Structure 1
Amino acid sequence: MNVTRFVLAVIVAYVVMAVLAIGLEALLGDMTSSFKALHRPEEALAEYQIWMYLAYLLQTVVFCYIFTLNYENKGWMEGLRYGLLIGLFMSFEVMAWYGMMPIAGMDTVVTMIMTVVIYMGGGIATALVYKPAAQPMA
Protein backbone atom coordinates (compact mmCIF):
# COMPACT_ATOMS: atom_id res chain seq x y z
CA MET A 1 0.00 0.00 0.00
CA ASN A 2 1.22 3.48 -0.85
CA VAL A 3 1.14 5.09 2.62
CA THR A 4 1.40 8.65 1.32
CA ARG A 5 -1.56 8.17 -1.00
CA PHE A 6 -3.54 6.46 1.75
CA VAL A 7 -2.93 9.29 4.23
CA LEU A 8 -3.87 11.82 1.55
CA ALA A 9 -7.07 9.87 0.82
CA VAL A 10 -7.97 9.87 4.52
CA ILE A 11 -7.40 13.63 4.80
CA VAL A 12 -9.31 14.46 1.61
CA ALA A 13 -12.22 12.12 2.41
CA TYR A 14 -12.42 13.44 6.00
CA VAL A 15 -12.58 17.05 4.80
CA VAL A 16 -15.09 16.31 2.02
CA MET A 17 -17.37 14.36 4.35
CA ALA A 18 -17.10 17.04 7.06
CA VAL A 19 -17.98 19.81 4.60
CA LEU A 20 -20.92 17.79 3.27
CA ALA A 21 -22.13 17.03 6.81
CA ILE A 22 -21.91 20.68 7.86
CA GLY A 23 -23.58 21.86 4.64
CA LEU A 24 -26.38 19.32 4.79
CA GLU A 25 -26.96 20.05 8.46
CA ALA A 26 -27.19 23.77 7.65
CA LEU A 27 -29.69 23.07 4.85
CA LEU A 28 -31.73 20.30 6.44
CA GLY A 29 -31.09 20.69 10.17
CA ASP A 30 -34.65 21.80 10.85
CA MET A 31 -35.81 18.48 9.39
CA THR A 32 -33.79 16.51 11.95
CA SER A 33 -34.80 18.40 15.10
CA SER A 34 -35.76 15.33 17.15
CA PHE A 35 -32.08 14.30 17.15
CA LYS A 36 -31.13 17.58 18.83
CA ALA A 37 -33.15 16.66 21.92
CA LEU A 38 -30.74 13.72 22.38
CA HIS A 39 -27.55 15.85 22.16
CA ARG A 40 -25.49 16.90 25.12
CA PRO A 41 -26.26 20.36 26.48
CA GLU A 42 -24.42 23.09 24.54
CA GLU A 43 -22.15 23.96 27.49
CA ALA A 44 -21.00 20.31 27.82
CA LEU A 45 -20.60 19.67 24.10
CA ALA A 46 -17.17 21.30 23.76
CA GLU A 47 -15.73 19.03 26.46
CA TYR A 48 -16.71 15.87 24.57
CA GLN A 49 -16.47 17.07 20.98
CA ILE A 50 -12.96 15.64 20.55
CA TRP A 51 -14.46 12.15 20.81
CA MET A 52 -16.79 12.90 17.92
CA TYR A 53 -13.93 14.14 15.73
CA LEU A 54 -11.77 11.15 16.68
CA ALA A 55 -14.60 8.72 15.89
CA TYR A 56 -15.15 10.32 12.48
CA LEU A 57 -11.42 10.21 11.77
CA LEU A 58 -11.24 6.51 12.67
CA GLN A 59 -14.32 5.82 10.52
CA THR A 60 -12.62 7.59 7.64
CA VAL A 61 -9.43 5.55 8.08
CA VAL A 62 -11.44 2.31 7.93
CA PHE A 63 -13.56 3.67 5.05
CA CYS A 64 -10.44 4.42 2.99
CA TYR A 65 -8.75 1.15 3.94
CA ILE A 66 -11.73 -0.92 2.79
CA PHE A 67 -11.69 1.05 -0.47
CA THR A 68 -8.05 0.06 -1.05
CA LEU A 69 -8.88 -3.63 -0.58
CA ASN A 70 -11.26 -3.63 -3.53
CA TYR A 71 -9.80 -0.82 -5.64
CA GLU A 72 -10.45 -1.44 -9.35
CA ASN A 73 -9.08 1.79 -10.85
CA LYS A 74 -12.44 2.74 -12.40
CA GLY A 75 -12.40 6.43 -11.46
CA TRP A 76 -14.94 8.50 -9.63
CA MET A 77 -17.85 6.19 -10.52
CA GLU A 78 -16.15 3.44 -8.53
CA GLY A 79 -15.99 5.85 -5.60
CA LEU A 80 -19.63 6.80 -6.04
CA ARG A 81 -20.69 3.14 -6.02
CA TYR A 82 -18.49 2.38 -3.01
CA GLY A 83 -19.76 5.44 -1.12
CA LEU A 84 -23.35 4.49 -1.91
CA LEU A 85 -22.89 0.98 -0.51
CA ILE A 86 -21.10 2.14 2.64
CA GLY A 87 -23.58 5.00 3.03
CA LEU A 88 -26.50 2.58 2.88
CA PHE A 89 -24.77 0.31 5.37
CA MET A 90 -24.21 3.22 7.78
CA SER A 91 -27.72 4.63 7.28
CA PHE A 92 -29.32 1.43 8.51
CA GLU A 93 -27.81 2.18 11.92
CA VAL A 94 -29.90 5.36 11.90
CA MET A 95 -32.95 3.20 11.20
CA ALA A 96 -32.05 1.09 14.23
CA TRP A 97 -31.87 4.28 16.34
CA TYR A 98 -35.46 4.98 15.31
CA GLY A 99 -36.45 1.74 17.01
CA MET A 100 -34.51 2.57 20.17
CA MET A 101 -34.84 6.33 20.65
CA PRO A 102 -37.59 8.94 20.52
CA ILE A 103 -36.78 10.15 16.99
CA ALA A 104 -39.40 11.25 14.48
CA GLY A 105 -39.83 9.08 11.39
CA MET A 106 -39.18 11.88 8.90
CA ASP A 107 -36.06 12.93 10.85
CA THR A 108 -34.84 9.37 10.48
CA VAL A 109 -35.43 9.30 6.72
CA VAL A 110 -33.73 12.67 6.20
CA THR A 111 -30.74 11.61 8.31
CA MET A 112 -30.46 8.34 6.38
CA ILE A 113 -30.40 10.24 3.08
CA MET A 114 -27.83 12.71 4.44
CA THR A 115 -25.65 9.78 5.55
CA VAL A 116 -25.74 8.21 2.09
CA VAL A 117 -24.88 11.52 0.41
CA ILE A 118 -21.97 12.15 2.80
CA TYR A 119 -20.45 8.72 2.16
CA MET A 120 -20.96 9.04 -1.59
CA GLY A 121 -18.95 12.26 -1.45
CA GLY A 122 -16.27 10.51 0.59
CA GLY A 123 -16.18 7.65 -1.90
CA ILE A 124 -15.76 9.97 -4.86
CA ALA A 125 -13.00 11.90 -3.04
CA THR A 126 -11.17 8.68 -2.19
CA ALA A 127 -11.42 7.37 -5.75
CA LEU A 128 -10.09 10.64 -7.14
CA VAL A 129 -7.06 10.47 -4.83
CA TYR A 130 -6.40 6.90 -5.98
CA LYS A 131 -6.85 7.70 -9.66
CA PRO A 132 -3.46 7.14 -11.29
CA ALA A 133 -1.65 10.11 -12.76
CA ALA A 134 -2.14 10.57 -16.49
CA GLN A 135 0.64 9.02 -18.56
CA PRO A 136 2.52 11.47 -20.80
CA MET A 137 1.84 10.97 -24.49
CA ALA A 138 4.75 9.56 -26.48
Structure 2
Amino acid sequence: MSTPEDRPARPEDIDEICASLPETELGTSWGDRPTWKVPRGDKGKGFVLYRAPGRTAIDPETGEMYDDLVVIMTPTEVEKHALVEDASTPFFTIDHFKGYNAVLVQQSRLDEIGRAELAEVITDAWSAKAPRALVREHLGE
Protein backbone atom coordinates (compact mmCIF):
# COMPACT_ATOMS: atom_id res chain seq x y z
CA MET A 1 0.00 0.00 0.00
CA SER A 2 1.33 3.44 -0.96
CA THR A 3 1.59 6.24 1.58
CA PRO A 4 1.66 9.99 0.91
CA GLU A 5 5.28 10.06 2.07
CA ASP A 6 6.59 7.78 -0.69
CA ARG A 7 4.87 9.49 -3.61
CA PRO A 8 6.69 12.00 -5.84
CA ALA A 9 6.96 15.50 -4.38
CA ARG A 10 4.72 18.26 -5.74
CA PRO A 11 5.04 22.07 -5.55
CA GLU A 12 2.20 22.33 -3.03
CA ASP A 13 4.13 20.02 -0.68
CA ILE A 14 6.58 22.86 0.00
CA ASP A 15 3.98 24.98 1.80
CA GLU A 16 2.39 21.95 3.50
CA ILE A 17 5.74 20.80 4.91
CA CYS A 18 6.84 24.29 5.98
CA ALA A 19 3.49 25.00 7.67
CA SER A 20 3.69 21.70 9.58
CA LEU A 21 6.94 22.68 11.31
CA PRO A 22 6.78 24.46 14.69
CA GLU A 23 6.75 28.26 14.92
CA THR A 24 6.81 28.88 11.15
CA GLU A 25 5.10 31.62 9.17
CA LEU A 26 4.96 32.68 5.55
CA GLY A 27 6.31 36.21 5.24
CA THR A 28 8.52 38.06 2.79
CA SER A 29 12.22 38.73 2.33
CA TRP A 30 14.54 39.88 -0.45
CA GLY A 31 12.11 42.71 -1.05
CA ASP A 32 8.77 41.05 -1.66
CA ARG A 33 9.57 37.36 -2.09
CA PRO A 34 7.35 34.84 -0.27
CA THR A 35 9.57 33.30 2.41
CA TRP A 36 8.95 30.70 5.09
CA LYS A 37 10.48 31.92 8.36
CA VAL A 38 11.13 30.58 11.84
CA PRO A 39 10.30 31.60 14.54
CA ARG A 40 7.16 33.65 13.92
CA GLY A 41 7.50 37.39 14.34
CA ASP A 42 10.22 39.98 13.88
CA LYS A 43 13.08 37.61 14.72
CA GLY A 44 12.11 35.09 12.03
CA LYS A 45 14.84 33.81 9.74
CA GLY A 46 14.06 32.56 6.25
CA PHE A 47 14.62 28.88 5.50
CA VAL A 48 12.64 28.47 2.23
CA LEU A 49 12.23 31.28 -0.32
CA TYR A 50 10.35 31.49 -3.60
CA ARG A 51 12.95 33.19 -5.82
CA ALA A 52 12.07 35.76 -8.48
CA PRO A 53 13.40 35.15 -11.99
CA GLY A 54 16.81 36.75 -12.34
CA ARG A 55 19.83 37.01 -14.60
CA THR A 56 21.90 34.91 -12.20
CA ALA A 57 19.76 31.78 -12.68
CA ILE A 58 19.38 30.87 -16.35
CA ASP A 59 18.46 27.52 -17.87
CA PRO A 60 21.61 26.39 -19.71
CA GLU A 61 19.54 24.64 -22.39
CA THR A 62 17.10 27.45 -23.25
CA GLY A 63 18.89 30.59 -22.04
CA GLU A 64 15.66 31.60 -20.27
CA MET A 65 15.53 32.74 -16.64
CA TYR A 66 14.09 30.08 -14.36
CA ASP A 67 10.63 31.21 -13.26
CA ASP A 68 9.84 28.52 -10.68
CA LEU A 69 12.87 28.43 -8.38
CA VAL A 70 12.77 27.72 -4.69
CA VAL A 71 15.76 28.43 -2.45
CA ILE A 72 16.15 25.98 0.43
CA MET A 73 18.74 26.70 3.12
CA THR A 74 21.17 23.97 4.14
CA PRO A 75 22.73 23.58 7.60
CA THR A 76 26.28 23.65 6.23
CA GLU A 77 28.22 23.65 2.99
CA VAL A 78 28.68 19.89 3.38
CA GLU A 79 24.93 19.26 3.08
CA LYS A 80 24.71 21.75 0.21
CA HIS A 81 27.40 19.92 -1.77
CA ALA A 82 25.91 16.51 -0.97
CA LEU A 83 22.56 17.59 -2.47
CA VAL A 84 24.05 19.39 -5.47
CA GLU A 85 26.51 16.62 -6.34
CA ASP A 86 23.91 13.83 -6.12
CA ALA A 87 22.90 13.35 -9.76
CA SER A 88 19.70 11.59 -8.67
CA THR A 89 18.27 14.84 -7.23
CA PRO A 90 17.12 18.02 -8.99
CA PHE A 91 18.96 20.31 -6.54
CA PHE A 92 21.58 22.68 -7.92
CA THR A 93 23.42 25.91 -7.17
CA ILE A 94 24.57 28.96 -9.11
CA ASP A 95 27.58 31.27 -8.83
CA HIS A 96 25.37 33.83 -7.06
CA PHE A 97 25.12 31.37 -4.14
CA LYS A 98 28.85 30.62 -3.86
CA GLY A 99 29.68 30.56 -0.14
CA TYR A 100 25.98 30.63 0.80
CA ASN A 101 24.47 27.54 2.42
CA ALA A 102 21.46 27.02 0.18
CA VAL A 103 20.36 24.96 -2.81
CA LEU A 104 17.91 25.73 -5.57
CA VAL A 105 15.26 23.52 -7.09
CA GLN A 106 12.72 24.09 -9.83
CA GLN A 107 9.19 23.41 -8.67
CA SER A 108 8.60 21.72 -12.03
CA ARG A 109 11.27 19.12 -11.17
CA LEU A 110 10.16 18.27 -7.62
CA ASP A 111 8.60 15.03 -8.85
CA GLU A 112 12.15 13.71 -9.36
CA ILE A 113 12.34 13.18 -5.59
CA GLY A 114 9.90 11.73 -3.09
CA ARG A 115 7.84 13.79 -0.69
CA ALA A 116 9.73 12.23 2.23
CA GLU A 117 13.08 13.42 0.82
CA LEU A 118 11.69 16.92 0.26
CA ALA A 119 10.39 16.93 3.84
CA GLU A 120 13.84 15.91 5.11
CA VAL A 121 15.61 18.69 3.16
CA ILE A 122 13.08 21.31 4.33
CA THR A 123 13.24 20.09 7.94
CA ASP A 124 17.05 20.40 7.80
CA ALA A 125 16.62 23.96 6.49
CA TRP A 126 14.19 24.74 9.31
CA SER A 127 16.55 23.29 11.92
CA ALA A 128 19.42 25.41 10.58
CA LYS A 129 17.45 28.63 11.20
CA ALA A 130 15.21 27.78 14.17
CA PRO A 131 16.22 28.61 17.75
CA ARG A 132 18.23 25.71 19.26
CA ALA A 133 15.67 25.10 22.03
CA LEU A 134 12.87 24.76 19.47
CA VAL A 135 14.92 22.30 17.41
CA ARG A 136 15.67 20.20 20.51
CA GLU A 137 12.00 20.27 21.52
CA HIS A 138 10.83 19.19 18.04
CA LEU A 139 13.61 16.82 16.91
CA GLY A 140 15.27 15.77 20.16
CA GLU A 141 19.00 16.07 20.85
Length-normalised TM-score, structure 2: 0.27
Considering fraction of residues, name the structure with more strand.
2
Length-normalised TM-score, structure 1: 0.28
Considering fraction of residues, name the structure with more helix.
1
Choose 1 or 2 for highest CA Rg. Answer: 1
